[in-house]
């Protein structure tokens, strides 16, 4: 049963092939057996899961089941879960038990999902390889000497290894789409404001967005439908109705205008990835889409823009970790300032410190205009490039990442090399656009992702194109040989 998608499991539960309790027990067995090998989990909530599964079975028996009732999922460990550890894979939060649920967690719980646990990640979602976790790196189920991508690496590995059919993640510069591509699954980052950020530990508040990691676009549609919606508790939540994303999945792609940015096919793109992505775009053309070349002239500046804006927001957001109200506090200190400095020095890992320092520098007196204000202006130019492109196309397609999964430790010495991994994904975050990655090939037995980006609140069209693509290809059904 672990090979089934959410949509398939939902039908099996409905027809009584097995109960949610049986399904949950089976998947918990896999989590126990394979979770440690991949280091995909921070916390496994077995007892709670079985309780929720039994409640879901009762709800179904009472005739009150929806498409997610009884479906096991996992949450990235930066969504607050009441009564369960929420660590952000950081020493500074390794004892934090949230007193409340994130809206995403609440919405999915109310839809009847069963939480199997919390997944490993790059500390505070800062990273592209899941090597920046205080609990150690996550391994890629396709090749355990390689990274699964990051920062939602534990969620991606758990879904790819068939430990769970769906997971939540967050995407600030590619943290859902990049691990989805490197792990061979479907990852959706919705429009900024589509899903509530309440209870999602903040990294860069103008870029962070919660989304899904699943094995099909159909499953992403099901999960997004339950997660999305206006939330008065998030001041940037969009006051927009949530469409029925499943209803339009099978719509024809006839005449759909897809733009392919020349800038995405630069020298940095590995030739085998290029071929796989070009083949995928041809499949979309065969389905009726009209393909044209577009330009995003300022896209080359997206990584440097991001590495000013994101650290600046991070240095401000992470000032709340001071050892007073929650989290780790140093044992010995001389005075208040010393307590702050020692607590934070002990609690944060190297990459988080690097970003706090970078952010503090670009916001400091004398540098603010040259770096932070300049980056905000370039961000405007990048967003304007996308807005211009969407005047003539409906969707934008290209690669998700420049290469397949790289080896553990290959890029840890040079932050810039690691940052350049997100060169194709960061633009959508800067402009607040929805994007998804779907599997579109294998290179030396490692998955490659096709990225599709839509206009603001255009998730339905994005999922429609991805679903139709998955009706005529089978890359998303390929599984790593891990058992």
Q: Which residue in 136, 336, 445, 483 binds other proteins (CB under 8 A)?
A: 336
Which residues within the stretch 385-414 sit at the binding site for other proteins (CB under 8 A)? 414
Provide φ and ψ at 446, rounded to 5°.
-120, 135
Q: Which residue in 8, 354, 403, 479 binds other proteins (CB under 8 A)?
A: 354
Q: Which residue in 254, 335, 444, 474 binds other proteins (CB under 8 A)?
A: 335
**Of 123, 132, 175, 135, nearest to 40 (Cα)?**
135
Q: For other proteins, which stretch binds (CB under 8 A), given 12-20, 38-46, 150-158, 368-376?
A: 368-376
- Specify the residue, 421 or 470, whose C-beta has the smaller distance to other proteins: 421
Task: Provide the CA 450 distance to its chain's centre, in angstroms.
Answer: 15
Q: For other proteins, which stretch binds (CB under 8 A), given 136-144, 169-177, 429-437, 475-483?
A: 429-437
Residues linked to residue 395 through DSSP beta bridges, in sequence order:
258, 454
Catalytic residue among 90, 133, 175, 237: 175
- What is the C-alpha separation between 100 and 200, in angstroms, rounded? 11
Q: Is 252 among the residues known to form the active site?
A: no
Catalytic residue among 129, 151, 183, 455: 151
Catalytic residue among 76, 118, 139, 411: 76
Q: For other proteins, which stretch binds (CB under 8 A), given 38-46, 257-265, 266-274, 380-388?
A: 380-388
- What is the C-alpha separation between 161 and 158, in angstroms, rounded? 5
Would you state the structure tokens that stand for residue 288, as one six-digit string? 């009726």
**Of 96, 419, 453, 48, nearest to 263 (Cα)?**
453
Q: Which residue in 8, 376, 412, 471 binds other proteins (CB under 8 A)?
A: 376
- Specify the residue, 142 or 348, whose C-beta has the smaller distance to other proteins: 348
- What is the C-alpha separation between 54 and 231, in angstroms, rounded? 29
Q: For other proteins, which stretch binds (CB under 8 A), given 264-272, 346-354, 399-407, 441-449?
A: 346-354
Q: Is 377 among the residues known to form the active site?
A: no
- Specify the residue, 93 or 223, whose C-beta has the smaller distance to other proteins: 93
- What is the C-alpha separation between 74 and 163, in angstroms, rounded? 10
Provide DSSP, 20-66. HHHHHHHHHHHHHHHHHHHT-EEEE-HHHHHHHHHHHHHHHHTT---
Residues linked to residue 85 through DSSP beta bridges, in sequence order:
97
Q: Is 151 among the residues known to form the active site?
A: yes
State how beta strands 114-119 and 41-44 pair: antiparallel
Which residues within the stretch 187-206 sit at the binding site for other proteins (CB under 8 A)? 192-193, 206
Which residues within the stretch 293-332 sit at the binding site for other proteins (CB under 8 A)? 298, 301, 303-305, 307-308, 315, 319, 322-329
- Specify the residue, 21 or 313, whose C-beta has the smaller distance to other proteins: 313
> Could you check whether the bond before residue 151 is cis, i.e. omega within 30 degrees of 0?
yes
Task: For residue 430, give every residue at least 6 positions away whose Cβ sits within 8 Å of its Cβ, in sequence order, or none.
Answer: 207, 302, 305, 306, 309, 379, 382, 383
**Shortest Cβ distance from residue 84 to other proteins (Å)?**
13
**Shortest Cβ distance from residue 317 to other proteins (Å)?**
12
**Shortest Cβ distance from residue 153 to other proteins (Å)?**
22
Residue 340 as a binder of other proteins (CB under 8 A): the answer is: yes
Which residues form the catalytic set?
Answer: 76, 151, 175
């Amino acid at each position: 049963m672990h090979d089934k998608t959410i949509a398939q499991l939902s039908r099996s539960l409905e027809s009584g092939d097995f109960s949610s309790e049986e399904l949950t027990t089976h998947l918990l067995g896999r989590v126990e057996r394979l979770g440690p090998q991949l280091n995909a989990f921070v916390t496994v909530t077995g007892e709670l899961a079985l309780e929720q599964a039994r409640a879901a079975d009762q709800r179904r028996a009472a005739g009150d089941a929806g498409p997610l009732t009884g479906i096991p999922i996992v949450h990235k460990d930066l969504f607050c879960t009441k009564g369960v550890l929420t660590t952000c894979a950081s020493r500074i939060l390794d004892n934090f038990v949230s007193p409340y649920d994130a809206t995403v967690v609440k919405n999915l719980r109310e839809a009847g999902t069963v939480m199997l646990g919390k997944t490993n990640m790059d500390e505070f979602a800062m990273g592209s390889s899941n090597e920046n976790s205080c609990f150690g790196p996550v391994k890629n189920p396709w090749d355990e000497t390689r990274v699964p991508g990051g920062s939602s690496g534990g969620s991606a590995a758990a879904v790819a290894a068939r430990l769970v059919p769906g997971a939540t993640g967050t995407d600030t510069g590619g943290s859902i789409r990049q691990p989805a591509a490197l792990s061979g699954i479907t990852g959706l980052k919705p429009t900024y404001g589509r899903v509530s950020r309440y209870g999602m530990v903040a990294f860069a508040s103008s870029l962070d967005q919660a989304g899904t990691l699943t094995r099909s676009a159909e499953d992403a549609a099901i999960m997004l439908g339950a997660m999305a919606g206006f939330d008065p508790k998030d001041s940037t939540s969009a006051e927009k109705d949530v469409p029925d994303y499943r209803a339009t999945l099978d719509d024809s792609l006839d005449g759909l205008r897809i733009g392919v940015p020349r800038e995405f096919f630069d020298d940095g793109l590995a030739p085998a990835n290029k071929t796989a992505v070009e083949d995928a775009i041809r499949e979309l053309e065969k389905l009726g889409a009209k393909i044209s070349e577009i330009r995003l002239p300022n896209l080359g500046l997206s990584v440097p823009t991001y590495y000013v804006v994101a650290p600046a927001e991070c240095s401000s957001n992470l000032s709340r970790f001071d050892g007073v109200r929650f989290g780790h506090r140093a044992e010995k200190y001389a005075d208040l300032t010393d307590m702050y400095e020692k607590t934070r020095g002990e609690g944060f890992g190297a990459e988080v410190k690097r970003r706090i320092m970078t952010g503090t520098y670009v916001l400091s007196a004398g540098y603010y205009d040259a770096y932070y204000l300049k980056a905000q202006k370039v961000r405007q130019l990048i967003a304007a490039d996308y807005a211009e492109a969407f005047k003539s196309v409906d969707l934008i397609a290209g690669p998700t990442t420049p290469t397949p999964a790289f080896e553990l430790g290959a890029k840890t010495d040079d932050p810039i090399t690691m940052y350049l991994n997100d060169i194709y994904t960061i633009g959508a975050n800067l402009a607040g656009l929805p994007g998804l990655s779907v599997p579109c090939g294998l290179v030396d037995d490692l998955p490659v992702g096709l990225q599709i980006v839509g206009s603001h609140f255009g998730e339905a069209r994005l999922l429609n194109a991805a679903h139709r693509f998955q009706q005529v290809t089978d890359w998303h059904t390929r599984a790593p040989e891990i058992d």
